[in-house]
Amino acid sequence: MEEYKQVVIVRSDLRMSRGKLAVQVAHACVSCVLEIVEKGGVWREWLNEWVRSGQKKVVVKVDSEKELEERYKRALVLGIPASYIVDAGRTELEPGTPTCVGLGPAPSNIIDRVTGDLKLL
């Protein structure tokens, strides 16, 4: 049976508190889901399968904004639902700081082409 997951790529070069990080990751996951609900199609089928199998989520890291952007672009090319999260900067970070990228839910073997080499946070 095909496995589905969401993966969030976070920047490890930023200093974020536990709460701040959790909110950024949640923004990324929710933004992907909302885009999928709006657009439908095969993405919606992926979403349904993923919910049915328990909503697997994984958090991995990169160490720069450049790397974050490159992974995001790679996901778009592969047709994976993706959200690029920029902090509004009310606390902790400068306004407009990119913090993380949400990917999926999508089949794990497709997402792994974007994040398979990245370490867990």
Residues in contact with a copy of itself by the rule CB under 8 A? 6, 8, 10, 18-19, 21-31, 33-34, 37, 51, 54-55, 57-59, 88, 120-121
Choice between 26 and 110, CB closer to a copy of itself: 26
Nearest distance, CB of residue 90 and a copy of itself, angstroms: 10
In the numeric block, the tokens 């690029």 are attached to: 84
Taken in order 94, 69, 105, 39, is the CA torsion positive or negative?
Answer: positive
Nearest distance, CB of residue 35 and a copy of itself, angstroms: 11
β-bridge partners, 103: 7, 82
Kindly state the greatest CA–CA separation across the chain.
44
Choice between 71 and 104, CB closer to a copy of itself: 104
Q: Is 80 exposed, middle or buried (0-12, 13-18, 19+ CB in 10 A)?
A: buried
Choice between 42 and 77, CB closer to a copy of itself: 42
Nearest distance, CB of residue 19 and a copy of itself, angstroms: 4
